[in-house]
Structures are given as C-alpha cells and as structure tokens.
Structure 1
C-alpha cells in the first residue's frame, strides 16, 4: 500500500537512465497484459442446448450475445436471487434450447442495448421492443411474440385524475423509446400536457408518487405487473392497442439466428408452452408485502456482488491512473515544449469531456470504428483510468512545482545531477504534498465508477437498480446502496489517512 503513494529513494523508477521511459514501459507492459489475456472474460452462456432438442443446423452449437433492457418487468428484470428473469429471458432461453444454440445475455438498458447492437457488441436484442416502420429501416425483426397496448396510471391516492381530460397543464411520465412515450406524445397537444421521458419504469412510478408528474403512460403488462408488486399506482384508462414486440438483429445480418427464433417461437405457440410462459408472469398473484429487513436480506447477495465489482474496478483503475499521472505529470514539468504539449493535450481531452461520454465511446464507439468488440471490463478500466489519470497528472505537476525551487538549486550546487536531485530531493517532498489530493482522487474515482452502469457494468448502483426494477421499492433500495457507499468510502478514507501518516511521518 505504501508504494501506491510514494516510491522510496533508490527505487528502480528513479534509477533508470530516463525515468519517463521507465514509467512508459511499465504502463505499456500492463496494457499489453490486459488486452493480451482478454481481461476478465465474460461468463458462460446463460442457456445451453437441451439434450435431444430439435435443432437448426445453421445455428447449432453457436453462441450468440443478446442485449436486453435492465428494468422492464415482467419482460426483463432481476429476481430475488439476482438472476435475469422475465418473459423475454425465458423466451429466448427456451428457444435457444429448442434450436440448439447458446445465448449470452448482456443486461444493458434499452438505449444502450440498441447501441450495442449497432456497434456489433451483441448479435441481437430482445427487450420488449416495438416493431415500427422506422426501426425496420435499421433492424430485421422476428415474427411478433407479444401484442402490446398502452394504459395510463396515477398514484393510488389520486382521486382527481380520472382520464386524459384531467391532464391539461400538467406533466406526465413515459419511458424513453417505448410505446407509451409515443402514444403520450401523440395526444399531448390535444389534451394540453407535457411529457417527461425517463429511462426506467421504476423511476417513472416514483416521479408520479412524489407528485412531480401526475400520471404515467406505460405498456399495459408492465403497469399490471408493477401494480401487482405494490408499486403504489392504479390504472385509470382502458388499454389502447399498440405495436407488437419483436426480436431484432442488424439489417442483413444473422438471418440464421432470426430464422431459428421464428421457428422456435412457432413451436412454442403450437405446443402451448408460449401461453404458459406468459401466464407465469402476467397472471402471477400479487406479491406479499415484505419488511425492510427482509428486503435487506434478499438484496444483500446481489449488492455485495456489485460492491465487489466496484472495489475491483476502482483499485485496478487507480493503479493505472497513478502510472499515467506519473508519466504525464513529469512530462508537464519537462523543459521540452513537445513533451509538455503531449501531456497538456492528454489532460485537456480527458478532463474536458464527461466521463459518461468516454464510457460510451470506449464500449460502443471503438467497436464501431475497429469492427472488434471490447470487453466491458476493459472499457470500464480504460474510462476510469484515463479520466482519473488526467486529474492525477495535475496533482503530480502541482506537487513537484510546490517544492521550493531552491531545493533543486541547492542540491545541484552540491554536485548532484538533475535526475539525482529530482529523485532524492524534490520527488520525496512532492509526494508528501500530493498524498492528500491522491486520497481525495481515489474517493472520487470510487464514486465515479457508478456511472459505468450506463454501459451495463454490474457495479453496486447497477445492482441496486436491478433490484428495485423488480420490486419497485426504490427509496428503500437506494437507501441501502447509499449506506453501503458511505461505509466503504469512510473505511477507505480512514485507511488512506493511516497510510498517509505512516508514509509522511
């Protein structure tokens, strides 16, 4: 832990003929190791071919990566054990077994799943996706597997909003890209209300319950499931027929997968298994109310898994950020204009763009540019390490320049060379100055890791979202997640302060 904050005098980093080359070689070697080993490869496929199943030769034995939403119960959500469940999940897994192929599910969120499909990160998307003429220009769809419809719901205790005519001058909520959003916008001018679009059904419902929106427009099975799970709403309008849901692949790609899906779907409908699958979720009895402590016990395994991923990605990213910060920090104080320009460009690019944009670029943009998919762990570490490395660079530069220039001049006057003076006199003092800022940057990095949920990285907040998407207990789940973050950050800060005192005593 000590070496994380200060290199002891005489270390290899400063004994090399050129310290910049030594640091650069370390960074380059680590990056090669990460990409060369695949870096935390994805787990096994979620569905395996069933013995004796009738199989399509064109897809038999192949593994397809399928993107899906994260919070669209009853079509896709996390069950009490943290496993992906729902109509879409059961459907694609059952068809995969029947047709003899494997599926690897990536739970990304609806918009992110479509971006992943376009960038080649996934082979197909099943996420309660409406088949529209616009989407048909970009994607090839399967035969419809569910006929949707839209309903409006209000808070359970709302006795004044009974129909569209009561919405004038008010705000309603709808899910981005959903059939409910399209329908709400189509009648917004007629009834004089404003539509606020959100990414998740659970947060839409909270918006209504908190009074920030008067009603929500959503697909009727999603509303029905949420109400059965005690989400605090009630429907006040009849179902308006909507579009049909379909499984999608990129236009002109994976025709065999699409054909296998259609064949498997037809078999399920013919033998009655399809209707049984729907009834499992759409006719499920209302959920029994559970206490906060029962929610805590049920949620903890998934949350601890997410916390482990949060800590691991934070530690790995901070280690790389330190290497990058040292490299570019020394470049920033170099007398060479070109080297200073390189470091300044690095800092300006990664400190001047939002971390979320960087995450989307590394995970979705690079595959589109190179044609090669990128592991989500690699994308996450690159995002956090490069972004944090830009800030560490300025911490290193500031630390070195904070040391009295007379210290360097005095050591040079005693006959020590420039590199020796930096290694034995300037750098040790600079690290004492930098340590509090580095501790602060580590804490910031830990909290910033929560933004990786946007690309489907299974960190702590992502797991929390998965939990409340299924049980709709948003406030309680976020309270648990917030307390876990607080405990970890306080413990990390105390530990870092102890290390600081020992290193800089």
Structure 2
C-alpha cells in the first residue's frame, strides 16, 4: 500500500473515531441542571399517582405532592418521565437526582437508595375479569396465570404467595397492558396497588372486578441515590410535614382518590381518540423521525468509512471493520440502549440525556449494517473493472472514486432506504430508556384512556403510512437507477 493510500485510510480512521466519540461528550456531571434545577424521575403510566392528561401535562398524587413540596421549600426541579424500571436505573447511575413514582420502601431498596419519610400507605388487591366467577379467593389461582407490574407492591405480594397457591406470573411494564391481558383472558387475575386499581375501575372501559378484600401493603417514599443529595431528602421531609399541617396533602388525595373523584377518561371511540390526542401523536411521530434522521446521518458517515475499510487492501483496516460489524450486530439493540444510557455514565462519570443516548445507540447499531451494505455494493461491481483500471496505472484511491464507487452507489441506494425504514422501526425500542417517541406516546395515552386496541391501531397506521411512503420512494429510485 503506497504512502497516499496509507494517508487516506489513516485520515478515515481518525474521522471514524472522532465521529463516535464526539457524540459521547458528557452533557453535565453536576448534580443539577445548568439552571440549578433538580432532575426528578418518575413513571409514565401509574394513575392516579403519575400520568399524562389530555393537555400533555403530568398530573397525579405524586406530581401534585412534589409540586406542593417544591413550592413550600423553594427548590426547582425538572421532571423526567422515564418509566419505573428506567427511572430506577437512571437514579442508580446518577442520571437523575431523585425519584417519585409510587415507589415502595423496602429493605432491599434501602441498600441502594435513601428514602424520605413515607408519604402514602398502599394496599394490594386482586382483580379478575368482570365475567369471571370462578376465582373468588387465592386458592382458586392454582394452575392459573397472574399478571403483575414490575416494581409494584402488588408484584411483591404476588411473588410472596406464588409458591403457596401455585400460580404462574406474567410481568408487565405498565398497568394498562396488564389490565388488557386480564380482560383478553391471557392472564386470569392481576395484583395491583389498591389506589391504582380503584382509580382504574372508575373508567367504564375496564371490565374488571375485585373479588377479595385488600391486603396490607407497603409505604411509598421519595428516593435519592445512596449518599447523594441529602438536602433534597431533608427538603422533601420538611415540605411533607408542612403540607400535611396546612391541609394541602389531604386536598391532593381527595382530588384523585376521594369519594367524589372520577377517572380522567371516558369512552370516546376511535375517531374521538384520534382527535383528542392528535397533537401528542404528531409530536411522538416527529421525535421518531428526528431520532431516525440524526442517527442515520451519523451512522451513514461511520458505516461508509467502515465499508471502505472492509474492502481496503489493508488487513488492519479489514480487521477494524470486521470487529465493529460483529460487535454491534451481535448485541441486541435493547441491551445496547441500556448499556449506553446506564453503564457508560457510571463508567465515565458523566450524564447523558435520553435523546443523546438514543441517537448513540441507533447510530452504533445502524452503522454496522450500513457498513455491510457498502461492502456488498462495492463487491457487487465486477472486480475485473478494478483490475483493468489498476493495470492502466491509476492509483487505488482514484480507481475506487472514479470507477467503482459510482456504480456501487446505484446498487446501494435502495438498500439504504430500506435500512432507514428498519432504523425508524427500531426507535420504538428506545422507549425503555424513557424517550417519548411514537410508541411510548401510545403507551402514555393508553394509560389515561385504557383504549389499548384502538390506540395501537392508530400507532400502527401511522408507522404504516410513513414506511409505505419510504418504500414507494425506494422502489421509484430503484427503477430510475436501472433505467439510467
């Protein structure tokens, strides 16, 4: 390999490394945001404690308590609706400063987190389908399937009696899908925190009933990472005392679980569901497209360089490309998302936003596939052409740029559009780290309306329309290039 070739590929290698690490720059390593606000994580689907109303605002017992305490104590916060499991991991990795999400205070969690004084005492109930008269006690659960939501008091109680009553567990990340599973008959019963279930049953869409008396539950607490932000715990405790004394605490409870409280959603039908939530859905679609475009641009740069590496005469560059492709095609996307968002900040002591982590995840994954598209496109060009121009004395770089790559690009363009479609669909996985893209938007709406069947149909149609347009574009370009 001559000096010019080595220089070209050394430059490409530097660009590749720079591109990857440029997106890994820390957003902030301080405990608060740049504006001095605490970052507080929460769940997204746990009514009446936290859920999103039709105006896109997060409300509920936890949200109102947090707001009242912050106002009483004079601190500011920025809310991060992540989902329960993602919020727990974000708190442990110092991505957020505190968490309030109907979180039970347990000895196991005390080993990892510091808790406030309890702000709510929960109970546990079992619910079955309204038409189910066969299950009236725990003994009737033998051989049955029970649905639970991860991290809840209901889940902990179900696990504690599972062996005694011999039933199987079916675990969900949100309550709405758990209820739907029972109504559909896939699960026979569900265990849920009592106030959550009582609130949900006020919605006439849920055809469930409670056949047993409530069981004692756990206390809910506000949490920070172990040894971190003790002043935040102190302010929460002091504020809790004050709002209990002035009556604000009881006013908040009465709003959501008092005798005169009502569920936040009614049966509005398919078209009504679209009309009421159109702005949220469009925003979710916009985030999906934005994530896809940003990640695909980065992935294209990295992937093209890696594709050139893989077809280079240089064995070292071949090895780099092969290692990258094998690594990032071999790691499941959901595992990669967790690693980027939770593990990298812990290892490097930095803070990444969910959006940046999502773009990095998609870029790393997509670049591996684009590299193979580029390699395949180059190899699809008759290698005799490269040998012919090389025999005429043209250098390798010029031969590739003038002869091989123009033909390879025609071959690759339809595949690039197909890969864009795949990346677009892959964004749905990023909901696990709290990005509110189209799929997560659907989940949030379902948690408020309990219209899972209609809502997933709407989301599916939105994806289908966008992907159909892209597919038609791919077909058009393919025909046009074949005619050129």
Q: Normalization by structure 1: what TM-score?
A: 0.89
For the 8 Å contact 2:373–2:415, the answer to whether it is kept is yes
Alignment match of 2:312 (pick from 327, 334, 345): 334
Query: What residue number does 1:50 align with?
Result: none
Where do residues 47-196 of structure 1 align in structure 2 (5 Å cutoff)?
62-196=36-170
Matches of 2:256 and 2:402 in 1, distance apart? 68
**Deviations 1:136-185, CA, capped at 9 Å, x for gaps:** 11111101110000000011122222221221111111111211111112
Q: Aligned pair in 2 of structure 1 residues 22, 72: CA closer, same or farther (>3 Å)?
A: same
Q: Structure 1 pair 145/38, CA: closer, same or farther in 2 (3 Å)? A: closer
Is structure 2 residue 323 aligned with structure 1 residue 348? no
Check conservation: 2:27, 2:351, Cα contact below 8 A.
no
Moved over 3 A (4+): 15-39, 496-504
Structure 2 distance, partners of 1:353, 1:123, is: 30
Equivalent in the alignment of 2:233: 258
**Aligned 8 A contact 1:27 1:320 in 2:** no
1:459 counterpart (431, 437, 455) = 437
Partner of 2:282: 304
1:437 matched to which residue of 2?
415
Judged with a 3 Å threshold, the aligned counterparts in structure 2 of structure 1 residues 103 and 318 are, in CA distance, closer, same or farther, namely: same
Q: Does structure 1 conserve the Cα–Cα contact (< 8 Å) formed by 2:61 and 2:256? A: yes
Does the CA contact (< 8 Å) of 2:418 and 2:474 recur in 1? no
Note the residue ranges of structure 1 that are not aligned, 5 or more in a row: 1-14, 46-60
Partner of 1:285: 262
Aligned to 2:207: 232
| Distance across 1 between alignment mates of 2:157 and 2:24 | 46
8 Å Cα contact 1:23-1:323 kept in structure 2: no
* Partners of 1:423 and 1:497 in 2: CA distance: 26
Residue 414 (structure 1) shift: 3.0
Going from structure 1 to structure 2, the CA distance change for 1:20 and 1:85 (only over 3 Å counts) comes to: farther
Counterpart Cα distance in 2 of 1:499 and 1:418: 29
User: Kindly tell me: are residues 139 and 29 of structure 1, through their superposed partners in 2, closer, same or farther at Cα, counting changes over 3 Å?
Assistant: closer
What is the match of residue 246 of structure 1?
Answer: 221
Q: Distance in 2 between matches of 1:167 and 1:34?
A: 51
2:386 aligned to 405, 408, 412, which one? Answer: 408
**Partners in 2 of 1:327 and 1:348 — Cα distance?**
16
**Match for 1:474 among 452, 455, 459?**
452
Q: Secondary structure at the match of 1:212?
A: coil
Deviation at 1:402, TM superposition (A): 1.5
1:271 paired to 2:246: yes
User: In structure 2, the residue corresponding to 1:228 is in which secondary structure?
Assistant: coil
Tell me by how many angstroms 1:22 deviates. Answer: 5.5
3-state secondary structure, aligned to 1:122? coil
TM-superposition CA deviations, 1:398-447 (whole Å, max 9, x none): 11112111111121233322211111111111112222221211110000
On the 8 A contact 1:153/1:217 being kept in 2, the answer is yes
After superposition, what is the alpha-carbon deviation per residue over 1:289-341, rounded to whole angstroms, capped at 9, x for unaligned? 22221111111111111100100110111111111111111111122222111
Paired residues, number: 473
Q: Could you tell me whether the CA contact under 8 Å between 1:16 and 1:22 is conserved in 2?
A: no
Q: For residue 23 of structure 1, report the CA deviation from its aligned partner.
A: 4.6
Is 1:393 aligned with 2:391?
A: no
Q: Partners in 2 of 1:186 and 1:296 — Cα distance?
A: 41
Residues 38 and 496 (structure 1), Cα distance of their counterparts in 2 relative to 1, 3 Å cut: farther
Task: Kindly state the Cα deviation for residue 459 of structure 1 after the two structures are TM-superposed.
Answer: 0.7
Name the CA shift for 1:133/1:150 in 2 (closer, same or farther; >3 Å).
Answer: same
Query: Are 1:81 and 1:301, in contact at CA under 8 Å, matched by a contact in 2?
Result: no
Distance 1:325 1:189 in 2: 51
1:378 maps to which of 348, 356, 359:
356
- 2:465 is equivalent to residue 490 of structure 1: no
Distance 2:21 2:38 in 1: 27
1:223 is displaced (CA, Å) by: 0.4
State the distance in 2 between where 1:295 and 1:86 align.
21
Q: What is the Cα deviation at residue 494 of structure 1?
A: 2.0
Moved more, 229-238 or 347-356: 229-238
Name structure 2 gaps, 5 residues minimum: none
State which drifts further: 414-423 or 129-138.
414-423
Q: Which residue of 2 aligns with 1:446?
A: 424
Distance 1:400 1:19 in 2: 18
Structure 2: distance between partners of 1:384 and 1:32: 15
